[in-house]
Amino acid sequence: MRAPIPSRLVSWLLAAVAGAVFGVAGTISHPVVAWGRLPIGLIAGGAGCLALLVAIRLLVVDRGAVLAAGLGMLAALTVYSGEGPGGSVVVPQAAEGEFPFGVVWSVALAGIVLAVVAWPRIPRAWVEGHTASQ
């Protein structure tokens, strides 16, 4: 049984806001490096966004909430990738010979969202039957 439409719309809105918050956090922290060249910001931002999307996917039956969270993340990335009113840029283009953190973050975030949204639903009966047979 599906939830009523107003309930689903509220869950989509809350998921989009949560996704936007995680998208902003990941976009701002993605160029942070530690221990030489280890991109700790890229790893932590990707892990945080992946964890949020997987949690929403597991907790909410409706796939639309995961899509809303993913679109919130991608919208935050798009907004913060552009030039601000004062001319500042959060995701700058990499200089010649430097590692392109911004490009990697953009592609990685889009890939994470696509993978979690497209992940097939495993029927509960199959999972229960599979664990009972072992």
| pLDDT for 32 | 81
| pLDDT for 88 | 75
Residues of the chain with pLDDT under 70: 1, 122-134
Q: Quote the pTM value.
A: 0.84
Q: At 15, give phi and psi (nearest 5°).
A: -65, -40
Structure tokens at 74: 């991608």
| pLDDT for 17 | 97
| pLDDT for 54 | 94
| pLDDT for 18 | 96
Instruction: State the Cα–Cα distance between residues 55 and 68, nearest whole angstrom.
Output: 13
Instruction: State the Cα–Cα distance between residues 48 and 35, nearest whole angstrom.
Output: 20
Angle between helices 5-29 and 101-118 (to 10 degrees): 150
